[in-house]
């Protein structure tokens, strides 16, 4: 299960072709350098006997397909769509896939770099992205990437096994539980045709607005320090904050819906679902001081809150109008809940189902 030593790279950190590519200045982030940087920093996974590793990998591949069948039954979405397998990867494999997905998502949304200085900026951004990817590579259990060609459902085998061991729960149950969450994400994007384009459009709008200058906001820094809800708020214009609120609301909905579904499938499919949820929730809150600081800086702590807030919204709506009524969120972008409605699901119900 351990990926072993990452491939060695030259002391300069990039090969000549990558350097030429950056100097040409086509990309704002050197994603090749990001992957090379992460490869040097990524930690090996848990040591697992080969037979056990093979069993875990084969089981995850099968569970990715089985899980989506259960997700379709609970959500009422995706009937008639083809069932597709997932990809089981190690940590370096996840890094490569994540970099490809991010490159596709941000292509055209970030301003192009030009000249030698542009190459330096792209390289700096690549190193920073690589550090973040290396940190996350040890924590991500799975991921659905709708922006790679055809969409990719990734399951990070060493992390799934490591978390299952830390929680001391059956491997088959935990693997299915993870697949239910990621299968829900895949179904959200495959069963709702407009969702991927809408999500990418929000990201592009947010990134495209980031070059309007920070100087005016620096002048107001003392007042903004008193009013800001978080560090990132200090640098946002009102227009940026509005787009970010829409993006956060959508992400919270997607994560919370997936968390709700993975538990709603029930003990018939995952016999230890209650124990897994209790221990996993406690684990999300854990970690040492340094780990928690890094998670906060990278937005991981906010992501954890999204799971709880989105699941509470989903649960409230499903309790009131059933899953068929909840599925009104997928009708079009106008029926998505706002950030305020995530916190007040009754308000969303009044607006969408008066």
Count of domains observed in the chain = 1
Question: pLDDT: is 113 or 208 the higher one?
Answer: 208
Residue 118's closest CA among 34, 21, 206?
21
pLDDT at 238 over 90: no
Q: CB of 2 within 8 A of CB of 45?
A: yes
Residues in the chain: 354
Structure tokens at 182: 């990621």
pLDDT at 281: 86
- Maximum Cα interatomic distance, the chain, rounded to a whole number of Å: 63
Residue 136's closest CA among 300, 3, 308?
300
What separation in angstroms does the CA of 59 have from each of 51, 160, 179, 192?
12, 12, 11, 28
Kindly state whether residue 92 falls inside one of the protein's structural domains: yes
Kindly state whether residue 6 falls inside one of the protein's structural domains: no
Q: Please provide the DSSP assignment of 263-291 as one string.
A: HHT-TTT-TTHHHHHHHHHHHHT---HHH
As a whole number, mean pLDDT of residues 100-104 equals: 90
Kindly state whether residue 309 falls inside one of the protein's structural domains: yes
Q: pLDDT (tens digit, 9 = 90+) per residue, 149-205?
A: 789 999 999 999 999 999 999 999 999 999 999 999 999 999 999 999 999 999 888
Kindly state whether residue 216 falls inside one of the protein's structural domains: yes
As a whole number, mean pLDDT of residues 50-60 equals: 94
Q: How confident is the model at residue 263 (pLDDT cuts 50, 70, 90)?
A: very high
Kindly state whether residue 5 falls inside one of the protein's structural domains: no
Residue span of the structural domain in which 259 resides: 17-352
């Amino acid at each position: 299960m351990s990926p072993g030593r990452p491939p060695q790279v030259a002391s300069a950190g990039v090969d000549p072709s990558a350097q030429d590519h950056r100097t040409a200045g086509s990309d704002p982030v050197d994603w090749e350098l990001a992957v090379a940087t992460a490869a040097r920093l990524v930690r090996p996974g848990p040591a697992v006997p080969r037979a056990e590793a093979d069993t875990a990998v084969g089981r995850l591949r099968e569970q990715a397909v089985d899980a989506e069948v259960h997700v379709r039954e609970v959500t009422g979405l995706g009937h008639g769509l083809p069932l597709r397998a997932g990809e089981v990867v190690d940590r370096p494999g996840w890094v490569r896939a994540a970099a490809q997905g991010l490159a596709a998502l941000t292509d055209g949304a970030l301003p192009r770099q030009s000249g030698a200085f542009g190459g330096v900026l792209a390289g700096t951004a690549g190193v920073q992205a690589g550090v973040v990817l290396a940190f996350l590579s040890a924590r991500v259990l799975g991921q659905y990437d709708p922006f790679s060609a055809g969409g990719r459902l990734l399951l990070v085998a060493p992390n799934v096994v490591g978390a299952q061991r830390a929680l001391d729960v059956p491997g088959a149950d935990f693997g299915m539980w993870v697949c239910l969450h990621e299968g829900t994400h895949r179904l959200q994007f495959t069963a709702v045709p407009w969702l991927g384009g809408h999500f990418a459009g929000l990201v592009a709008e947010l990134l495209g607005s980031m070059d309007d200058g920070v100087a005016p906001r620096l002048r107001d820094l003392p007042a903004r320090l008193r009013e800001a809800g978080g560090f990132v708020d200090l640098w946002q214009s009102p227009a940026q904050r509005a787009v970010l609120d829409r993006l956060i609301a959508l992400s919270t909905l997607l994560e919370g819906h997936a968390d709700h579904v993975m538990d709603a499938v029930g003990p018939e499919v995952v016999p230890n679902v209650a124990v897994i949820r209790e221990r996993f929730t406690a684990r999300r809150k854990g970690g040492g001081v340094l780990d928690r600081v890094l998670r906060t800086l990278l937005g991981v702590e906010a992501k954890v809150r999204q799971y709880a807030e989105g699941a509470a919204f989903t649960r409230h709506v499903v309790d009131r109008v059933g899953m068929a009524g909840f599925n009104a969120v997928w009708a079009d972008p106008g029926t998505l809940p706002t950030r305020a409605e995530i916190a007040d699901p009754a308000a969303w119900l009044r607006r969408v189902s008066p």
